[in-house]
Structures are given as structure tokens and as C-alpha cells.
Structure 1
Amino acid sequence: MAQKLVPEAKQGLANFKNEVAGELGVPFKDYNGDLTSKQCGSVGGEMVKKMVQQYESSLK
């Protein structure tokens, strides 16, 4: 199994995921098997969009 480079990042990403899910109105919880793939995908897509925007703004 691969070694985690930044173990603290796991909790940070979980917090970010929950923040984005809250903004989109997706009810994330411990078990998310009852959510649609569209709901889960929208959260992941928005997370990537925000990370890219943050990176691009850091380049300016």
C-alpha cells in the first residue's frame, strides 16, 4: 500500500467535501449509499472546480 504523503490532508479533504456538499444541498453523512451518482458527482466536480480556481488565483 502506498504511503500517505500528508496524513493530515485526509481530514482536510473530508471537511472540504462536507462544506461543498452543504453548499450544494447534498445530504452527505457517514453512509452515502442512498445518494445518486449525480449528487456525489456534483460534489466531486465542484471540489475540483474550486481547487483549480484557487490554484489559478495563486498564480496571479
Structure 2
Amino acid sequence: MASKSGSNRLVVPGAKQALEQMKFEAAQSLGVQIPADGYYGNIATRDAGSLGGYITKKLVQIAEQQLSGNQR
């Protein structure tokens, strides 16, 4: 099993909060219920995959905007 202190270290301080917000926004737009207790073991694999794909798509869009000089 992977540990929490693994290789997923954030490069930008404060990015964790922004990523958490993006996760909640993605879940809301896809109609996936995020558990209040923070335990994700009951989320279906399909829903988790949808969330990951949606978040990746949004991160790519943000990066493309920044590279083109059109920051929001």
C-alpha cells in the first residue's frame, strides 16, 4: 500500500487547497457525492475515474491558458 508521504509532494505551497476545491467542483458537476468524513472507499471506480479524468482535463486547460498568456 502507498503511504501518504509518498512521491506526491506538492511543488507549490498552498496548491493542496486549490486541488481540493477543484475536486469538489468536479464532483458537483458530475453529480458524484463526496463523503463528508473524507473516506473515499465507498466511491465507485467509475465515479473515481470520471473525477480523475475531469480534473486532468481542467488542469490541462489551465496550463494551456497560462502558456498562451491568457491567465484567468
TM-score range, shorter chain: 0.7 to 0.9
Aligned residues: 60
TM value normalised by structure 2: 0.68
TM value normalised by structure 1: 0.79
Partner AA of 2:34 in structure 1: F
The aligned residue for residue 22 of structure 2 is 16
CA RMSD of aligned residues (A): 1.9
SS in 2 for 1:5: coil
The aligned residue for residue 62 of structure 2 is 54
Alignment gaps of 5+ in structure 1: none
The aligned residue for residue 53 of structure 2 is 45
The structure with the greater share of residues assigned to helix is: 1
State, as a whole percentage, how many aligned pairs show the same letter.
40
Residue 54 to residue 5, structure 1, CA distance change in 2 (3 Å): closer
